[in-house]
Amino acid sequence: MSLRKNKVPRRVYLDYAATTPVRREVARAMAPFFVNEFGNPATLYRLGTAAYQAVSQSRTAVASALSTTPDTIVFTSGGTEANNLALFGLGRQTPPRFRHLVTTAIEHRSVLEPARQLQKEGWRVSYIPVNADGLVDPRQVLRVLRPTTALVSVMQANNEIGAVQPIAEIGRQLLKFRRTNSSSYPYFHTDACQAVSYLELAVDKLHVDLLSISASKLYGPKGAGALYIRRGVPLLPLLMGGGQEAGRRAGTENVPGIVGLGAAVTLGVTERDDVVQRMRALAGWFWNQLRKQFPGVRLLGPPPGSNRLPHNLNIIFPDVEGETLVLYLDRGGISCSTAAACASLAQEPSQVLSALGLSNQEIAHAVRFSLGQSTTRQDLNYVLRSLNTIQRIFKHGSAAS
Ligand SMILES: *Cc1c(COP(=O)(O)O)cnc(C)c1O
């Protein structure tokens, strides 16, 4: 094949769960707002009002993707800020008798670390365990609720193992609990950063009060995201100053980023059904090939189906350590991950995989492939060939030791 002698190194990106490229359509929508339409949305002249209108349009687009109204959308610097705003914003506004937070063992660190900080500030935090597939049982949530619970935060879809949580069911249970206790507490937050391209996210059907999204995971720009805040949910802003975002997030708006988020969300929702089908078929085929060619491989997380994001394959490779695989595959232009991108910086075993009951030894053999828009069967065949080569080297010990 001519690719072997290709001067341009081949690039196969299989880490869409870490971040996505910006789609051309999205980059095109953003472009005018860097140079020509650079106005500050808070100003009164046409340049400013044009920027204000662009931000408003994006707000409408994001609201419509979540089946809600624009006044419930606050733009942030990404999923991390949205999650921090949900936990700290609500936490710092909560009367002292509500100092109990319920979350799960497999949240993104932008939920877990604020939870730990609240703990340091005197909160009680309950971490719900997950089953061996990484799924939360709604009954476990009910079991830990108390009249003092202020907030429940359960992610919609997990970034490492693609587990899709029963958010609507948990939401229904929480509504019942509130009704029984005639209380507006606990509020319900979900981190939906991984979900927008693959799952329907109608906030009323999910019964959530707060929902986080990130443009960086849906073919939009990095550094842009949003938090849905149901009307009437009390939040103290993290950033105070100029009163932007109806006083909920001060600072001159990231107009190009917000425009990019709006464009990306609209495209993502429009194409969702097709993308889900395509990803499911492609990932299913890849997994079957892996199983055939590498006896002993294990898929971590829920089996393929409605409880799993269609593009995510987190796999244990018995013969080679995950980190070694990632580095060897990278030599062939293939990008994949051992764990959440942020967790690999921290160099500790993935908490998510630990929560599944895996040993550190097993965790060391896990590799995550996350497919996306540009992934083809040829790409995956190339990965399979590369994996074969690496496995051969390691099985026969020439590169081991
Ligand atoms: C990426 C991600 C985040 C953080 O989003 P940023 O935009 O990178 O701050 C939060 N939660 C989940 C599940 C994610 O995948």
Atom of ligand 1 nearest to the CA of 217: 1
Q: Sheet of 366-370: strands edge to edge?
A: 298-300, 312-316, 366-370
Compute the distance from residue 82 Cα to the ligand 1 centre, in Å. Answer: 9
Q: Is the CB of 310 under 6 A from ligand 1?
A: no
Compute the distance from residue 218 Cα to the ligand 1 centre, in Å. Answer: 11
- Per-residue tokens: 378: 């040829």
Span 106-130, pLDDT tens digits? 999 999 999 999 999 999 999 999 9
- Per-residue tokens: 187: 């509020």
What is the reported pLDDT for 314?
97
Span 349-394, pLDDT tens digits? 889 999 999 999 999 999 999 999 999 999 999 999 999 999 998 8
Q: Is the CB of 226 under 6 A from ligand 1?
A: no
Catalytic residue among 175, 246, 342, 346: 342
Q: Is the CB of 368 under 6 A from ligand 1?
A: no
Ligand 1: which of 84, 217, 219 to mutate, most ligand atoms within 8 Å of CB?
A: 217
Which segments of 66-209 does DSSP mark as H helices, in order? 79-84, 90-91, 109-120, 138-144, 167-180, 203-206
CA separation, residue 340 to residues 144, 247, 314, 347, 374 (Å): 28, 33, 11, 11, 21
- Residues in the chain with pLDDT values less than 70: 1-8, 339-347, 396-401
Closest CA to 109 of 370, 363, 367, 346: 346
Integer Cα distance of 160 and 107 in angstroms: 10
- The answer to whether 327 and 344 have CB atoms below 8 angstroms apart is no
Q: Is the CB of 193 under 6 A from ligand 1?
A: yes
**What SS3 state is found at 89?**
helix
342 is catalytic: yes
Sign of CA dihedral 238, 129, 359, 313: negative
pTM, rounded to two decimals = 0.95
Closest CA to 218 of 175, 176, 157: 157
Residue 49 phi/psi, 5° resolution? Answer: -70, -30
